[in-house]
Amino acid sequence: MNPDSDLETLMARYQEGDLAAATALIQRLSPQLHRFFVIQMGNRTEADDLLQETWLRIHKVRNTYRTGEPVLPWLYAIARSIRVDHYRKGRRTGARERPLSDVPEAATPKAAGSGGTSDLQTILAMLPESQREVIEMLKVTGMSLEEVARATSSSVGSVKQKAHRAYEKLRERLSSVGLSKSQKGSPS
């Protein structure tokens, strides 16, 4: 069975009140949504909170999912909205708070056995937020250009342009620090 049609079936059953389908969706999609938030936020605790908030919002608006449509773009549009809301709320709160300049910021510890997640976060952190989001959806999550366009409320052309600019920026940065092989295929 096609994994996408399986998600669509689970979502349709979830809309009808099937608890097992809801549980299956959560178990299946939570890891990739969590990665999305970790890469975007760079903080596992915030990612945990945003993941929980996303599932709560999905539960509230599950009736807006159109049966037969791809689930991932609908779901990522909600996740993206949650992330943007969180960012805006943080900015409003930050504007009212006084900084604690005498308290040093703790370094983010690398997770043991993270399988390169920390390296990926570091590399993607070089990109502007909109480009990082597109690359994460395309390459980490495996969504199609059309799905990313739907999830970000953009055109396919805009998604392609952001991806291209992100690839160029990553190539420049990686080659400037000596991590990129020659583009011409010459021997090392």
DSSP state letters, 63-127: GGSPTTS-HHHHHHHHHHHHHHHHHHHHHHHHHHSPP-TTSPPPPPPPPTT-TTHHHHHHHHTTS
Average pLDDT over residues 98-127: 58
The predicted structure's pLDDT at residue 85: 85
Q: Return d(Cα 32, Cα 168) in angstroms, integer.
A: 25
Q: Return d(Cα 38, Cα 15) in angstroms, integer.
A: 28
DSSP per-residue codes, 167-182? HHHHHHHHHHTT-S--
Q: Return d(Cα 146, Cα 157) in angstroms, integer.
A: 10
The ranges assigned to domains in the chain are: 1-95, 116-179
The predicted structure's pLDDT at residue 180: 55
Q: Is residue 184 predicted with pLDDT exceeding 50?
A: no
The predicted structure's pLDDT at residue 93: 65
Q: Which CATH architecture has domain 1-95?
A: Orthogonal Bundle (1.10)
CATH classification for the domain delimited by 116-179, as one of 1.10.10.10, 2.60.120.200, 1.10.357.10, 3.40.50.150: 1.10.10.10
Q: What is the pLDDT of residues 127-153, one digit of tens each?
A: 888 888 888 888 888 889 998 988 888
CB atoms within 10 A of CB 144: 16
Q: What is the pTM of this model?
A: 0.56
Average pLDDT over residues 171-177: 80
User: Sorting pLDDT into bands at 50, 70 and 90, what band is 175?
Assistant: confident
Q: What would you report as the CA-atom Rg of the chain, rounded to the nearest whole angstrom?
A: 19
More confident residue, 92 or 67: 67
Q: How far is CA 49 from CA 31, 46, 75, 89, 126, in A?
A: 13, 5, 16, 14, 24
Q: Is residue 121 predicted with pLDDT exceeding 90?
A: no
